[in-house]
Structure 1
Amino acid sequence: MPLSWFGPIANEVADEFGFTLGEVNWLGNSCGVVYIVVSFPLPLLYERFGIRKVCLMGSVLMVVSAWIRYAGTAKSLSTRSSYALIIIAQILIGIAQPMYQVLVPSYSEKWFDLKGRTTATMVMALANPVGNAVGQVASPFIGTPRLSILVLAIISTGMAPIALFVMNAPPTPPTYTGARKNPSYMSLVRAMLGKESPEASTYMTVRQRIDFSIMILNFGILVGVTSSFSLLTNQVLAPYGYSPGTAGLIGATLLLVGLVAAAVTSPLFDRVFTYHLALTSKVLTPLLAGAWLSLIWAVRRDDAGALYGLMAIIGAISLTLLPVAIELACELTRNAVVSSAILWCSTNVFGVMMVLAEGALRAGPDANPPFNMKRALIFQGCFVCVAAACTFLLQGKQTRRENDERGMEALRDDVEMNGGCN
């Protein structure tokens, strides 16, 4: 929620606190920059302390950041002091966010079998977009920016104790992969460099290395575009007469419709389209590119219906692809934590880059309308088209699932043989 909280109310925050729009953008961007730095050592943190302790660390950081953010709203503070406290809070939440997000595929791998793993990944992976959606809808309607930041602090404090219920692993592993120790960070580095032993479980063929490289690029672009748009929604739409509330609802439509679509489709990938993750990407990504490209012409005055429709299409496709991409990366690398860390790091690299580039592409005061962001929409549309083109190069062999199925079959054979002997 803190990532997108300031997007729909960017102009109001700038007016009330005396910040520039660029500084308001950095309240979201700072989370992405910190994420890039934190995501790389996180697998080592999980290896040392386990999922439970890392989650508890994240919840503590969430509460601390919430109240530092609220402290920054004190009217007695100068503009610079207020901004310093709020951005420190955003940096802290930028550290906490990957602690939960990176562990998603590893957690589903440890706790769920082949018929529920993709669905579990979907539920956890979409928690972040749902938070974005709630942040976009709530912040414009709560009241003043100061009051909205207080409400955000209360919500964060109320949610934090849920981390106490997180455990490291179930008593009985659900799959062959779930029973194995998480591969090391360096095993994926060696595999990508072609230095891993062919006998190792994390060995990657040349084709798999190419596929994972394509996924890093595509995942980064597609999720980065969505994140940047959530931060810039108000700035994109305000020049055409849309209110902050309408901008928040349009942005939230992407995420809320996507949530429903992902909830419907993820069980199908567990039980019906089990070996068609790459094919799904090839079919849906070009449609997604077309929708993002259409925004270039749809963002205009009195065209809210078209914007809601396009956001619904983008959300349905994007969030259907999100768990598919995360699971496919695990299939290619057999290294859930590290592959997830790399993918999410990529999204923040592209997200930060796009926010900065699109802010620089904002038109001047003499444009029609003033300060419009049409050039930014062209920029993001072109980037998504590049990702769509690269998707056709993907083969996406699901090696992890094959290993799990062989492992489970061998286990069943052992049970049958022992039963027959008895």
Structure 2
Amino acid sequence: MRNPFSSAPASGTAPDANAVRNDPASDLLLHAISSADTTKSSDSKPEFTTARIDEELARAGSPNAAEGQPEYKLYKRRFIGLAALCLMNIVVSWGWLTYAPVVTITTQFYGLGSETPVNWLSTVVLWAYVVATPLVLYLLHHYPLRPTLILSLFLLLLGSWLRYASTHTHSFPLLMAGQILLGLSQPFVLSSPPYYSSLHFSPTGRISATALASLSNPIGAALAQLINPFLATKASHIPNMTLIISIITTIASISVLLVPSRPPTPPSASAAVEKHPFQDSWHHIRHNPQFWVIAVMFWIYLGLFNACSTILAQLLQPAGYTADEAGITGAILIVVGLVASAVVSPIVDRTHAFVPFMRSVIPVVAASYIALVPVIEVGKEKAGLPGVMVVAAVMGGSSFSLLPVALELVSEVTWPVGAEWGSCILWVGGQVVGAVLIIGLDAMRGVGEGGDVGKGDGDRNEHGRVKGMRWASVLMAILAAVAVVGIIGLKKVKGRVGVDLVAR
């Protein structure tokens, strides 16, 4: 196989720097060295020497290159690790939204005065995610993936069984403690897919692998929306529902013990390049405007999705939809999204049309949030169940297709910085925005319905009607529309894909 950093066939040794100066892959590698070696002072210039270039070229070769063997290799066991990441993402997300679809009877079971504390069960997971992310980033950068995921396993199991223990004492603080532990385990799992796919998959399989693992997280949310209302139809069913979910979580999460760490031989040229030091990576990210354009859009749309998933039943029920119909709508949003992503991801994997795809899909995401406003405004009598389901299908299909493409584009934009950097920053920002939105949207309950919003009993207004969230949907639509402006700043980049294509 041809060495990607040489204009001559691979001969078992790294090519001399002077022999590759006109090679396009070498230009990309030199650009990577330049980006990563820039010191903290913005006025300083990176120093290049022949020895430094030769060192990076040598790092890009595989252990078998000197023996004349194929330089890059794919291992079948990568699919075992991918399946384990999928299962972990499912149960982590299911745990996050355990009580959101059954908010009313959860309020009754724990003797709460309103549904707001139950909404905090979802919000606290997002804040715990933020707290744990710096540790996750450090561990993924310095240590193999498996021990990092084992720590996540411990937090997840402890949190799950604490929640079940709370059902025996009707202790809401204990339930909250379990949710916090679940939240601390989440960033280990959510931030891993781009990092894992960059280590184990080829350039034509990375987006699909990232999509499969990352979008398993919404599968957990779909299961929560669809199954939990049937597991708990009244307050006395909350303990059994929590027990069933805890057992499933325990069985599925043990699979992380099968996740392989770095493969013996890298799958591609870009995967063979050694990661840059921790502080240098942050400096490169901090001074990368293209990264921040993508990040801000990702934060807004992920935050909107998290908030909408959490309060979906509370958005729809005042408009005349039942809890079961709201759960089915949430499941449609997620199932259609998964199907759309399964179709789109392999196409983008092979065409690498990251930017054109994002420019075309982001306006569709915004349009779906805008369309949700009139559906809630006119209610079930006029919009009907098909109306809200169509909006949910469009929202899910566009949002889910966008997520893995954005994660992979960030890896391209920031390469040769490790993929865990972009993934961690994107996810944690989305969680912060989601948490803030859930708090803000909950505070808007009953706004614009006449009378004093503060009056009434819990979640009902002074007239005895369930407080609606009409203006909450309007705020989400405004944020979604404003974020579309970011597509102007998207630019095509030549990152690790450029190197990998030359290497073929």
Letter matched to residue 105 of structure 1: P
Matched, 1:65 2:159: yes
Alignment pair present for 1:97 and 2:186: yes
* 1:115-156 alpha-carbon deviations (Å, 9 max, x no partner): 111111111111111111111111101122222111111111
Q: What is the aligned counterpart of 1:279 among 343, 348, 356?
A: 356
Correspondence for 1:361: 444
Conservation of the 8 A alpha-carbon contact between 1:258 and 1:316: yes
Residue in structure 2 matching 1:210, options 283, 289, 297: 289
Look up the match of 2:22: none
Partners of 1:312 and 1:325 in 2: CA distance: 20
Q: 1:165 Cα shift?
A: 0.8
What secondary structure, in the 3-state scheme, does the structure 2 residue paired with 1:181 have? coil
CA RMSD of aligned residues (A): 1.6
Q: In percent, how many aligned pairs have the same letter?
A: 28
1:294-317 deviation digits (Å, cap 9, x = unpaired): 101112124211111111111111
1:213-238 deviation per Cα after TM superposition (whole angstroms, max 9, x unaligned) = 11111101111111111110111112
Partner Cα separation in structure 2 for residue 236 and residue 164 of structure 1: 40
Q: Which residue of 1 aligns with 2:429?
A: 346
Could you give the per-residue CA deviations for residues 19-51 of structure 1, whole angstroms, max 9, x where no partner exists? 231110110011100111211221211233310
Aligned match of 2:140: 46
Once the two structures are superposed, residues 54-109 of structure 1 have per-residue CA deviations (whole angstroms, 9 ceiling, x without a partner) of: 111111221111110000111x44xxxx1111111111111111111111111000
Aligned to 1:168: 261
**In the alignment, is the contact (CA less than 8 A) between 1:72 and 1:86 conserved in 2?**
yes
| Secondary structure, aligned partner of 1:170 | coil
Within 5 Å, give how 1:7-406 maps onto structure 2. Answer: 7-19=100-112, 20-74=114-168, 76-77=169-170, 82-143=171-232, 144-194=237-287, 209-271=288-350, 273-274=351-352, 276-299=353-376, 300-302=379-381, 303-334=384-415, 335=417, 336-363=419-446, 364=453, 365-366=461-462, 370-406=466-502
Amino acid paired to 2:429: S
Greater shift, 219-228 or 176-185, is seen at: 176-185
Note if contact 1:111-1:174 (Cα within 8 Å) is conserved in structure 2.
yes
CA change 1:404–1:234 in 2 (3 A) is same
Distance 1:189 1:270 in 2: 27
Q: Is the 8 A contact 1:6 1:231 kept in 2?
A: no
Residues 326-356 of structure 1: CA deviation (Å, up to 9, x unaligned): 0000000013001100000111011001101
Q: Which ranges in structure 2 are unaligned for 5 or more consecutive residues?
A: 1-93, 447-452, 454-460
CA deviation map 1:252-304 (0-9, x unaligned): 21111100111111110111x21x21111111111111111110111212421
User: Contact conserved, 1:102 with 1:344, CA < 8 A, in 2?
Assistant: yes
Secondary structure, counterpart of 1:2 in structure 2: helix
Quote how far apart the aligned CAs of 1:392 are.
2.4
Q: Distance in 2 between matches of 1:234 and 1:360?
A: 16
C-alpha distance in 1, partners of 2:263/2:143?
Answer: 17
SS in 1 for 2:97: helix
The answer on whether the counterparts of 2:144 and 2:262 sit within 8 Å (CA) in structure 1 is no
Aligned pairs, number = 387
What amino acid sits opposite 2:478 in the alignment? Answer: C
Deviation at residue 366 of structure 1 after TM alignment: 4.7
CA distance in 2: counterparts of 1:58 and 1:8, whole angstroms: 25
The alpha-carbon deviation at position 6 of structure 1 amounts to 1.4
Asked whether the 8 Å contact 1:328–1:398 carries over to 2, the reply is no
* Whole-angstrom distance in 2 between the partners of 1:38 and 1:183: 22
| Structure 2 counterpart of 1:417 | none
d(CA) in 2 for partners of 1:369, 1:396 = 52
Partner of 1:204: none
Q: Do 1:185 and 1:338's aligned partners in 2 also have CA atoms closer than 8 Å?
A: no
Asked if the contact 1:43/1:185 (under 8 Å) is kept, the reply is: no
Which amino acid in the other structure matches residue 49 of structure 1?
Y
Q: Which has the larger radius of gyration?
A: 2
Given that 1:60 and 1:160 are in contact with CA atoms closer than 8 Å, whether structure 2 keeps it comes out as no
Compute the TM-score of the two structures, normalised by the length of structure 1: 0.88
Equivalents in 2 of 1:72, 1:356: separation in Å? 24
Partner of 1:168, secondary structure, is coil
Distance (Å, rounded) in 1 between the aligned partners of 2:152 and 2:324 = 31
Letter in 2 for 1:279: P
CA distance in structure 1 between the partners assigned to 2:98 and 2:184 by the alignment: 17
Mapped to 1, the partners of 2:96 and 2:126 lie a distance apart of 9
C-alpha displacement of 1:16: 1.7
| TM-score of the two chains, using structure 2 as the length reference | 0.74
Report what 1:206 is aligned to.
none
Task: Give how far 1:185 is off.
Answer: 3.4
Please give the alpha-carbon distance, in whole angstroms, between the structure 2 residues aligned to 1:376 and 1:184: 43
- Shift in CA distance, 355/131, structure 1 to aligned 2, threshold 3 Å: same
Superposed displacement of residue 368, structure 1: 10
CA contact (8 A) 2:107 2:118 kept: yes
Q: Assess, with a 3 A threshold, how the Cα gap between structure 1 residues 49 and 192 changes in structure 2: closer, same or farther.
A: closer
Query: What do residues 236-257 of structure 1 show as CA deviations (whole Å, max 9, x unaligned)?
Result: 1121232222211111211111
Query: Residue 73 of structure 1: SS of its match in structure 2?
Result: helix
Cα shift at 1:367:
7.6
CA distance in 1, matches of 2:191, 2:326: 29
Q: Is the 8 A contact 1:211 1:396 kept in 2?
A: no
Of stretches 307-316 and 183-192 in structure 1, the one that deviates more from structure 2 is 183-192
In 1, distance between residues paired with 2:385 and 2:206? 38
SS of residue in 1 equivalent to 2:140: helix
Amino acid at match of 2:179: Q
